[in-house]
Amino acid sequence: MNTSNIYQFTVNKINGETVPLSQYSNKVLLIVNTASQCGFTPQLQDLAELKTIFADTDFEVLAFPSNDFGQQEPLDGAAIEAFCHNYGTNFNVFEKMRVRGPHAHPLYKFLADKKANGKVNAKPRWNFHKYLIDKEGRVIDFFYPFTKPTSSKIKKKIQRLLAAGADKVTNK
């Protein structure tokens, strides 16, 4: 097993079903920790728009609700899912988890630690911290919460990663 990518981890869907992240192999991912009571919560709609922009591509948004910052995610389970639907979510929302500190989920420990992921050293500082993952499951970049998901910076990087994947396919 390649431990330099996210495919070594499993996460739980909002309904508790276990999902291996390897099911997202060959997809570009934007992984985001979310919260329903945050000033950045309107970014849920921006994430849905971003997913729509790249609807016909190998791009996915993975949202992980967290209560780590200012107790801004008081909801659980179906209540989180219902709340997210108010913003038109068209992407996967997973079970609430810790994303920071000693009790952080192993996925987030990996995402935040350059020694583990080989690329970035950036712990989430607040809700809506974003990690960009390439089609091989490697951490490529991160974006602070104030960077809107629909920013040209994020869209261009996603386009480049999608194009790089297409080039590999056509060159074989």
Report the b/e string of 6-31 with b at 16+ CB within 10 A. Answer: bbbbebeebeeeebebeebeebbbbb
**Where do runs of H (alpha helix) occur along the chain?**
43-53, 77-85, 106-112, 114-117, 152-170
Supply 166's token pair: 């297409």
C-alpha distances in Å from residue 89, one per residue of 50, 82, 86, 123, 131: 10, 10, 8, 25, 18
Catalytic residue among 28, 31, 38, 44: 38
C-beta neighbour count of 49 within 10 angstroms: 15
Q: Is residue 38 among the annotated active site residues?
A: yes
- Cα–Cα dist 73/123, whole Å: 18
Active site (catalytic) residues: 38
